[in-house]
Amino acid sequence: GESVGLHLPTLSVQEGDNSIINCAYSNSASDYFIWYKQESGKGPQFIIDIRSNMDKRQGQRVTVLLNKTVKHLSLQIAATQPGDSAVYFCAENTFASSGAGSYQLTFGKGTKLSVIP
Amino acid sequence: EAGVTQSPTHLIKTRGQQATLRCSPISGHTSVYWYQQALGLGLQFLLWYDEGEERNRGNFPPRFSGRQFPNYSSELNVNALELEDSALYLCASTPGQYNSPLHFGNGTRLTVT
């Protein structure tokens, strides 16, 4: 079946460097994507989202890039800080099969980001 | 503004028992989603409730059920617990608008022994 996956399960970066976390998706009909951050013992926290009519969106220290041609999503974190250490999930929008017009998110397995002080 | 709250934070049950997990969405949010996060795995969609109705369910057996109350809070029930049901159960809410992000609680850690 269609799924969302991640290229790298773990990523270690030096404090102050930029981080890039990649994600591949296979459902060409997906039109909405979200990045979440999950710290130990907590639920996923919304970071940034992007709709399929965009190829780039910026937030505070984060940028999401969407390449629909190769079905690839990436999250860039500028000047990575120790507080950025967490597991990062990408998620894609999938239409609910019941036809109610809303969505359910399909999540990848996550990338663990470790920041080296 | 209070976020999504879940209770209890931890729950220990024995195989064959029933578990009840509770969720209060963000004020104004009408849709509630339940996800299971087993150790080392991603989030697996369980159930979606909106305006008191079950709108969709994931690929889980019928012993996973729930409901949504008139105040939009929700309950997840797991009957006949099995060891592999041990996981973090996450609740999320949205205002029900298409393409709005889910906001998650911190989950209930269910351990089945």
The mean per-residue pLDDT over the stretch A49-53 comes to: 93
The mean per-residue pLDDT over the stretch A84-106 comes to: 75
Q: Cα–Cα distance between A21 and A32 in angstroms, integer?
A: 18
| Residue B69 neighbours by CB under 8 Å, 6+ apart | B52, B75
For residue B103, what pLDDT is reported? 94
Most confident of A27-31, B26-30, B93-97: B26-30
Banded pLDDT at A9 (limits 50, 70, 90): confident
Closest residue in chain B to residue A34, using alpha carbons only: B101
Contacts of A101 in chain B (CB under 8 A): 98
For residue A27, what pLDDT is reported? 85
Asked if A45 lies within 8 A of B104 by C-beta distance, the reply is yes
Q: How far is CA A34 from CA B13, B71, B75, B101, in A?
A: 34, 28, 26, 7
Please state the φ and ψ torsions of residue A42, each to the nearest 5 degrees.
-125, 165
Asked if A25 contacts A7 with a C-beta cutoff of 8 angstroms, the reply is: no
For residue B99, what pLDDT is reported? 73
More confident residue, A102 or A54: A54
Banded pLDDT at A106 (limits 50, 70, 90): confident
Quick check: helix, strand or coil at residue A110? coil
State whether residue B2 sits within 8 Å of chain A by CB.
no
Asked if A94 contacts A105 with a C-beta cutoff of 8 angstroms, the reply is: yes
Cα B95 to chain centroid distance, Å, stands at 17
CB contacts < 8 A (A, B): 63
Give the gap in angstroms from C-alpha B29 to the nearest C-alpha of chain A: 14
Q: What is the pLDDT of residues A33-44, one digit of tens each?
A: 999 999 988 999
Asked if B56 lies within 8 A of A45 by C-beta distance, the reply is no
